[in-house]
């Protein structure tokens, strides 16, 4: 099963509880997509708390079997959510690659292809197609707009 991480970047500095509320809202929206598992990202806790892990504020982990249709739905939900809550952006990451989307990003085949390339080979790429090697530049910092 493949995984993506989604990081909400608010347009202004917000308190931790508000950033967490934004992540909860996006998670609820993503759970409407059949076959996706959505959870808060975890990291080692700092300090002397009881828990060995703590939530990464504003970051979600989305797992599942990603088809072209699923990737399009994830993109549409993230874009609509970024626009609705006036977030600066939502960064989608997989491994060392990332794609930054905003409320102004268009959902088109190019964006779906870029999202597909974030995942490990053989997951969604066979469903959405892969650009020729010359066109496969680094996705870091690429916007789907």
pLDDT one-digit tens code per residue, 51-65: 444 557 789 999 988
Nearest-CA neighbor of 39 among 29, 49, 27, 51?
A: 27
pLDDT computed for residue 145 by the predictor: 44
Q: What pLDDT, in 10s, does the model give residues 17-67?
A: 888 899 999 999 999 999 999 999 876 555 555 544 455 778 999 998 888
Q: What's the mean per-residue pLDDT of the chain?
A: 76
Specify the DSSP element, H or E, that contains 25.
helix 16-30
Which residue has better confidence, 85 or 136?
85
Q: Is 121 exposed, middle or buried (0-12, 13-18, 19+ CB in 10 A)?
A: exposed
What is the sign, positive or negative, of the torsion defined by CA atoms of 48, 50, 52, 53?
negative
Say what the pTM is: 0.71
Helix (H, G, I), strand (E, B) or coil at 49: coil
Q: What is the mean pLDDT of residues 2-9?
A: 89
């Amino acid at each position: 099963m493949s995984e993506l991480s989604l990081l909400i970047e608010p347009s202004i500095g917000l308190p931790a509880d508000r950033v967490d509320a934004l992540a909860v809202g996006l998670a609820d929206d993503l759970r409407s997509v059949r076959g996706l598992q959505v959870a808060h990202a975890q990291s080692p806790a700092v300090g002397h708390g009881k828990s060995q892990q703590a939530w990464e504020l504003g970051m979600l982990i989305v797992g599942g079997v990603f088809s072209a249709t699923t990737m399009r739905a994830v993109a549409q939900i993230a874009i609509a959510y970024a626009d609705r809550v006036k977030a600066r952006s939502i960064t989608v990451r997989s491994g060392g690659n990332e794609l930054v989307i905003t409320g102004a990003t268009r959902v088109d085949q190019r964006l779906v292809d870029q999202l597909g390339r974030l995942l490990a080979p053989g997951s969604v790429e066979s469903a959405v197609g892969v650009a020729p090697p010359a066109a496969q530049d680094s996705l870091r910092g690429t916007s789907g707009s």
